């Protein structure tokens, strides 16, 4: 089973990710992974960190002469500040010692207080360094590899931002894989020029107030084969796996498959995607995509649609959130850290990554194979004999 594990702190030396269960013979290069990671650094409203962060990466193991070996793939991503300066070397040193400056006015909405209570820490940095969304850089490196595997099945996973704070993209136009460059060219990764402008204005106004913004990303997976996931067990349902994976992204508080929240308010007669037989395709087609490409926990072969709602970041440039100093127990406002106004455009790229990792894992479970060619042959064999 394809799985991955990340390690590393936001201001430590590096992040690492190990991806286990990849077939042999998958062509992958540092440049391809780096290109995907550069997409995650995009976005109007990100803080100073993204202007100098280079996400310099090393393929440490599992790849030889540009191809996977079937062994675990290990990737290291250096944190630029650590390697380009002395900053953080004392504060984040793994050697024995204590911090000179513990963070104690915990931020509401962040992992600070609950993490300190759970793990018995007296410095919020012991929690926030790992809770930080910096960790998603390692996920995106893994996602780049998963996307490469999926490309052999003709699957493309893309995303676009449909809401930034109160500004919605109401154009109703969904990008296709060929439109991804146009989406990424928008500073907020929105597939509508007028809404892009309105979103940027909203971020500017928010930045002026020292505040932060949340929003919604829509992930679209094109070319997904029928039959991934299963109806037989709760933990094999692909919609459940997608929801968990996307919900695990830092600051994501809601996940929607298809038009779930709209469908909840409809009558059954207009809530489901009618099925047609299309002789030219020698295949079934759904006339709409309300279900978001899954029925009974199994992919239908239609467009997969997953939406993720991100809350506004809990770190504010002008802290106004009421909290308590955990040492003095006095009422105060949460501490200030260098931060972004919004990370919604980046979250869209991370959500693509999580969807790609789930689809790749489920495709591997269904089609198996120790090499990419065996994996593809098995998938083609399944498709060719579909009843």
Which residues are near ligand EPS by CB under 6 A?
Answer: 10, 47, 49-50, 53, 132-134, 137, 315, 337-340
Q: How far is the CB of 231 from ligand EPS (least distance, A)?
A: 37
CB of 51 to ligand EPS, least distance (A): 10
Rank residues 104 and 315 by Cβ distance to ligand EPS and give the closer one. Answer: 315
CA angle 122, 126, 129 (to 5 degrees): 150
* Beta carbon nearer to ligand EPS, 126 or 340: 340
Q: Select 14 or 153, whichever has its Cβ closest to ligand EPS.
A: 14
Residue among 136 and 364 whose Cβ is closer to ligand EPS: 136
Q: Which of 301-330 are b and which e, b meaning 16 or more Cβ less than 10 Å from the residue's Cβ?
A: bbbbbbbbbbebbbbbbebebebbebeeee
Least CB distance from residue 132 to ligand EPS, whole Å? 4
Residue 175 near residue 195 (C-beta atoms within 8 A): no
Here the tokens at position 298 are: 């199994």
Give the position of tokens 């809990």: 314
Of 48 and 193, nearer to ligand EPS (C-beta) is 48
Is residue 179 a contact partner of residue 268, using CB atoms and an 8 Å limit? no
| Tokens read off for 320 | 């106004």
In DSSP terms, 333 is beta-bridged to: 322
- The three-class DSSP label of residue 3 is strand
Kindly state the smallest distance separating residue 369's Cβ from ligand EPS, in Å.
34
Shortest Å distance, C-beta 360 to ligand EPS? 22
**Helical residues (DSSP H) of 212-303, grouped into ranges:** 238-247, 260-263
Beta strands in 71-226 (DSSP E): 73-78, 156-164, 167-168, 215-222
**Minimum separation from the CB atom of position 288 to ligand EPS (A):** 36
86 or 330: whose CB is closer to ligand EPS? Answer: 86
């Amino acid at each position: 089973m394809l799985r991955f594990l990340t390690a590393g702190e936001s201001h430590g030396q590096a992040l690492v990710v190990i991806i286990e269960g990849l077939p042999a013979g998958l062509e992958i290069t540092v440049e391809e992974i780096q290109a995907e990671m550069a997409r995650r650094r995009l976005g109007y409203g990100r803080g100073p960190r993204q202007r100098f962060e280079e996400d310099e990466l090393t393929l440490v193991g599992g790849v030889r002469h540009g191809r996977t070996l079937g062994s675990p793939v290990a990737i290291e991503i250096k944190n630029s500040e650590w390697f380009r300066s002395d900053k953080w070397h004392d504060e984040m040193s793994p050697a024995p010692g204590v911090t000179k400056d513990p963070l104690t006015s915990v931020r509401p909405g962040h992992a600070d207080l609950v993490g300190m209570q759970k793990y018995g820490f007296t410095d919020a940095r012991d929690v926030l360094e790992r809770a930080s969304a910096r960790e998603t850089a390692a996920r995106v490196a893994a996602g780049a590899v998963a996307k490469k595997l999926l490309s052999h099945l003709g699957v493309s996973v893309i995303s676009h931002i449909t809401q930034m704070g109160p500004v919605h993209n109401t154009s109703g136009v969904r990008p296709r894989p060929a439109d991804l460059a146009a989406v990424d060219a928008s500073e907020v990764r929105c597939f509508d020029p007028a809404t892009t402008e309105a979103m940027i204005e909203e971020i500017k106004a928010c930045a002026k107030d020292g505040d932060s913004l949340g929003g919604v990303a829509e992930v679209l997976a094109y070319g997904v084969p029928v039959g991934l996931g299963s109806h037989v067990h709760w933990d094999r349902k692909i919609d459940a796996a997608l929801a968990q994976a996307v919900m695990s992204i830092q600051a994501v508080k809601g996940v929607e498959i298809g038009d779930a929240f709209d469908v909840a308010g409809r009558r059954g007669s207009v809530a489901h995607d009618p099925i047609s037989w299309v002789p030219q395709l020698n295949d079934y087609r759904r006339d709409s995509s309300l279900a978001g490409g899954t029925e009974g926990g199994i992919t239908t072969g239609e467009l997969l649609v997953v939406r993720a709602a991100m809350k506004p970041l809990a770190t504010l440039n002008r802290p106004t959130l009421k909290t308590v100093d955990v040492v003095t127990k006095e009422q105060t406002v949460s501490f200030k850290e260098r931060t972004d106004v919004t990370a919604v455009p980046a979250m869209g790229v991370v959500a693509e990554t999580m969807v790609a990792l789930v689809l790749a894992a489920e495709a591997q479970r269904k089609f198996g194979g120790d090499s990419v060619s065996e994996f593809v042959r098995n998938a083609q064999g399944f498709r060719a004999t579909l009843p």
